[in-house]
Amino acid sequence: MGRNQVYCCICGGPFLEPGTREHEPGEWLCHPTLWTTVHLAKNGVELDMYKWELGMYTYDLADPANDSQRRVLEQEATYQDHNVFLISGSGEKVTAFHIVDDESALYLAVHGRCSQLVQHFVSSRREAHDVFQISDKDEISSVKQLWQVIFSRLPASGRGFAHNIDHPTRYYGIASLHLTEWEPDNNPLVGEYVEADPIEVPQLTDCILDNLEPDASVIRSEETSADLEDRDWWFNELITKKELPWLWDLDEDAARKKQRTGDWNWELLVKKLSRTDIYRPEDETLRLPLGLRNRRRIWKCIEDARLGDIQRQIGPPLLGFAVPMEGNLWDGYTPKSQQPAA
């Protein structure tokens, strides 16, 4: 694998060949989904064609259609090797992240699990804009807008092959591994973390509720209705998931059952869960399974997406785009969404 290893442009994790992690941690990395764009035409739905601008080292639509007629098509696939994917329905073999010859369809390779996370993220937005247009200050609110953001990150370095796409935060530490062959034993902490399934998290609700602490300030005889309302407010913040949309699968019934067993500090739990750096596997503020931490990391990658958040590489084809990180493994760069306004 090595430099030819291909990485998901949403989470930064690798695509693994079928069977390499069957019934083991990391199996979800063997299930890619290919994103491409299509448009309505006289003969039905057709693939959008993209072209390489000679001398400009950039990609663009070959024959732009009205955006209202375009959409993102998601297709299940199988990873073969050396950036070759087999589309499950048609059996067609395609490559990702670059254009073949002068003009072709363009495919973005993402994990099926990451595609599910994008759908959960979009569903959590108060307003959804099913368009490709997006400003450089706004969060994405549709798959179309995320496509546009990732498209703006493509290296576009001529006819060279891109096996990984940069991210403003370096995928929170994962991109530091993009220049090495993917073997979890090379870095057990990171390998186990990245391979942890971000969707199917065993006993998710129990793991979260195990972090509850008794509310030491409660004295029942002196408790007022205002105290009860405040505690209920924080409990409702948890179960309604408005501020914690990445916990969409929290079991509300189990949480209510826990609520009846004593006086718990729901405020402290919600505030800890709201901390954005709980994705770090070494975080000690909460006891959480790695799969949930990995989910929070990927959610942050989606949350931080901004148009133009990566400076496109302009120039001749390069051998690779990832560079070793400096400093703390999990620090990455400051995303555009967190940079001060000019």
For residue range 7-22, list pLDDT tens digits in order. 999 999 999 888 777 7
pLDDT digits (tens, 9 = 90+) for 85-96: 999 989 999 999
Q: What's the CA gap between 198 and 201, in Å, rounded? A: 7
Q: Does residue 194 sit in the same domain as residue 258?
A: no
Domain that holds residue 264: 204-288
Mean local confidence (pLDDT), 104-124: 96
Q: Does residue 29 sit in the same domain as residue 135?
A: yes
pLDDT at 29 over 80: yes
Q: Does residue 112 sit in the same domain as residue 213?
A: no
The last residue of one of the domains, among 247, 262, 288, is 288
Q: Does residue 171 sit in the same domain as residue 215?
A: no
Q: Does residue 271 sit in the same domain as residue 321?
A: no
Mean pLDDT of the chain: 84
Dihedral of alpha carbons 303, 88, 49, 15, sign: positive
Q: Does residue 51 sit in the same domain as residue 180?
A: yes
B/e letters for 126-156, b = 16+ CB within 10 Å, e = fewer, are: eeeeeebebeeeebbbbbbbbbbbbbbbbbb
The last residue of one of the domains, among 264, 288, 312, is 288
- pLDDT of 284 reads 92
pLDDT at 256 over 80: yes
Mean local confidence (pLDDT), 28-42: 95
The least confident of 22-31, 258-267, 314-323 is 314-323
Q: Does residue 223 sit in the same domain as residue 163?
A: no
Q: What's the CA gap between 36 and 44, in Å, rounded? A: 16
Mean local confidence (pLDDT), 244-259: 96
DSSP-derived letter for residue 237 is H
Q: Does residue 33 sit in the same domain as residue 130?
A: yes
pLDDT at 297 over 80: yes
Q: Does residue 272 sit in the same domain as residue 306?
A: no
The least confident of 31-35, 62-66, 126-130, 152-156 is 152-156
The least confident of 60-69, 256-265, 293-302 is 60-69
Q: Does residue 102 sit in the same domain as residue 125?
A: yes
Quote the crossing angle between the two packed helices 143-153 and 112-124, to the nearest 10°: 120
The least confident of 45-54, 128-137, 142-151, 227-236 is 227-236
pLDDT digits (tens, 9 = 90+) for 205-229: 999 999 999 987 755 545 566 666 7
Q: Does residue 35 sit in the same domain as residue 115?
A: yes
And the tokens for 319? 């051998």
How many structural domains is the chain composed of? 2
The last residue of one of the domains, among 254, 270, 288, is 288
- pLDDT of 101 reads 81
Q: Does residue 68 sit in the same domain as residue 193?
A: yes
